[in-house]
Amino acid sequence: MTHAIALTAVLIAAVSSPASAQVAAATTCDAAGIGSAKVVVEGPPASILDVSTGTTGAVSYCLVKVRIPEAINIWVGLPMGGAWNGRLQSVGGGGYAGNVAVPNAAIVGGYVGVTTDTGHAGGDGSFGMKAPGQPNTALQIDFAYRSEHLMAVVGRQLAQAFYGRAPEFSYWNGCSTGGRQGLMMAQRFPEDYNGIVAGAPAIHWDRFQAALIWAQVAMLRENGGPVPVPKLNRATESAVAACDAKDGVTDRVIEDPRQCTFDARTLICGADASGDTCLTEKEAAAINRIWEGPVIAGKRLWFRTERGAALGALGGPTPFPIAVAQPRYWVYFDPNWDWHTLGYDNYAAFFDRTVAEVGPIMATDSPDLTRFRERGGKLILWHGWSDQLIMPEGTIDYYERVVKALGGASAAQKTARLFMAPGVAHCGGGEGPAPQDLLGNLVKWVERGEAPETIPSSRALPGGGTRTRPLCKYPERAVWKGTGNTDEAVNFVCRAP
């Protein structure tokens, strides 16, 4: 998301290439060669704007820039010198996207890499409104799913034109908005990708986006304004300290925050205390409402920011930008809409209107992956438990609905698996070990039938060394065996709670 939801790092595994890969280019990287290729898409014709060469890492590539009306820009990086591994990788974006870049990591891994700006310039979300009171439905659709589908269409055609053969396997790799984009492809265009990595997916775009402003509403109504960030941090640190050892290991990580019920009122200042180390009664009430999540009149509208996640991202001195952009440009179509008008009395109406306006195009929450399963598609979902922006229980809720839709856990896990990462923040960072080699595990699942039972994770420790853990397929959790170094994955086993 803008300024905060970063594109996840693309981790390339040492997975063998398809048997017929490692082929040389069949044409030249210039206007007369690949630049003269015909790109066929539905609707208005596509145009090749530019062809150039470059080098990333030790891999030379041909970069083809394509434009599709109304304003979708797609860049395709084609490895040269026999470096192509026979696969395509579309790389997801962040926030409202609005920019396009060379898919360097994909190219270094030997993939035909594809990126897009999703059909507009700039990441403030204003493209969703054509004029006050009027949605820009065409650009909303381009952002929601048309541009991502065209990445697969254009990428395959240019690979065919450049190498004389199409990719044998196509993959989607993204986090946050990129995770939502990948799931949109599985739901709407299941023929586009053989495998999808969807991290911290921004699905439920209507509901979780409406929930992004909850922290500000809670602080305004309970405290009269923002709680200072040092105090928010103090509350998070105290919650972690209180719940850390519940999993049998003290490592500054809450294994499953749903088991943590730390109450911010325990931090209320005593008679002689003040400063950032304690809270006023109103500040404690505000933080508890943030941890409760958007509950109005006893009805839960959406999930909460978990204890252990940094509260300053959504609860800082000003709202997270997208929390205001969506109501202005996608719900009310009023650039002057003021979030201060929200309170407990009208928040539910605001939430419902957001779902009605945004959901039909952007929700990305259909659990029916039947068509994706029927063509052999594989999906790796993952989410950090300490995600400070996207509520991780939303991803769990989606996965559980997928399990039900596909006929139970055993059947569903032949197509989709979820891995929760304790202590990991949005798309990485935080105190917990972050997942490694997600794409490599996906490739082995798609091409060799080796379904991942665990995903390796690691984190460099401040004092030196590395902490490793297995990320277990949900609902299992990593449990220490009781002996051995707790910083080594080999001393943990996956068990159901």
- Taking CA atoms, 372 is separated from 147, 159, 183, 415, in Å, by 19, 23, 10, 8
| pLDDT given for residue 4 in this prediction | 36
Residue of 23 and 419 predicted with greater confidence = 419
* Pairing between β-strand 195-199 and β-strand 169-175 as defined by DSSP bridges: parallel
- Band of residue 25 on the pLDDT scale cut at 50, 70, 90: confident
- Band of residue 17 on the pLDDT scale cut at 50, 70, 90: low
| pLDDT given for residue 3 in this prediction | 34
Residue % of the chain over a pLDDT of 90: 93
Of 430, 415, 324, the residue nearest 369 (C-alpha): 415
pLDDT (average), residues 28-45: 96
- CB neighbour list of residue 275: distance below 8 Å, 6 or more residues apart: none
| pLDDT given for residue 371 in this prediction | 98
Could you check whether the bond before residue 317 is cis, i.e. omega within 30 degrees of 0? Answer: no
For residue 201, the number of C-alpha atoms closer than 13 Å in the C-beta half-sphere is: 32
List the beta strands (DSSP E) in 159-238. Answer: 169-175, 195-199
Counting every residue written for the chain, the total comes to 497
pLDDT in tens, 253-273: 999 999 999 999 999 999 777
Q: What is the DSSP string of 260-302?
A: ----GGGGB--TT--STTSB-HHHHHHHHHHHH-SEETTEE-S
| pLDDT given for residue 10 in this prediction | 37
Mean model confidence pLDDT for the chain: 95
> Is the distance from CB of 496 to CB of 476 less than 8 angstroms?
yes
Terminal CA-to-CA distance of the chain, rounded, Å?
A: 33
CA dihedral 270, 307, 4, 454 (to 10 degrees): 150
pLDDT in tens, 110-160: 999 999 999 999 999 999 999 999 999 999 999 999 999 999 999 999 999
List the beta strands (DSSP E) in 321-432. Answer: 378-384, 416-421
Residue of 19 and 486 predicted with greater confidence = 486
Catalytic residues: 176, 387, 426
Overall pTM surpassing 0.85 (yes/no): yes
Residue % of the chain over a pLDDT of 70: 95
Domain ranges of the chain: 34-203+363-453, 209-361
Neighbouring CB atoms inside 10 A of 138's CB total: 15
| pLDDT given for residue 440 in this prediction | 98
Residue 492's DSSP bridge partners are 480
How far apart (Å, rounded) are the C-alpha atoms in residues 177 and 198?
Answer: 9
CATH of domain 34-203+363-453: 3.40.50.1820
| pLDDT given for residue 22 in this prediction | 59
Residue 169's DSSP bridge partners are 87
Q: Which amino acid, one-letter code, is at 415?
A: T
